[in-house]
Amino acid sequence: MGKYVVKETNTGFMFNLKAANGEVIATSEVYSDKDNCLGGIESVKKAAPVANIEDQTVENYEEAKHPKFEVYLDKAGEFRFRLKASNGQNIARSEGYKAKASCLNGIESVKKNADSDVVVE
């Protein structure tokens, strides 16, 4: 089972969702305070298991309803995903992946590990 690791930054708080092997599979935005950061974790736990995948790397892609994972290409040509909550807010994002299959595996890992109750500060 995965875990959420909350850390303080120069401008607020953020979290990483880590898989059982310790690898970071999703990162949050920076929140102004710890309570909002913990609320972001709850949003991921709620959204990730039911989120659809919207593949923006294909032409004429079909827009998915929120919550959703958006798969896209970054400026470096790497595949990334972002998780959007029911209200359309970005709540987590991935690292860059060289292959789309790896990016999709990352989404599956987030779905599998999102419901973790382990929060480490």
pLDDT for 30: 96
pLDDT for 62: 94
What is the radius of gyration, based on Cα positions, of the chain? 14
pLDDT for 1: 84
pTM score > 0.75 for this model? yes
Domains and CATH numbers, the chain: 3-120 (2.30.29.80)
Nearest to 43 by CA among 11, 80, 4: 4
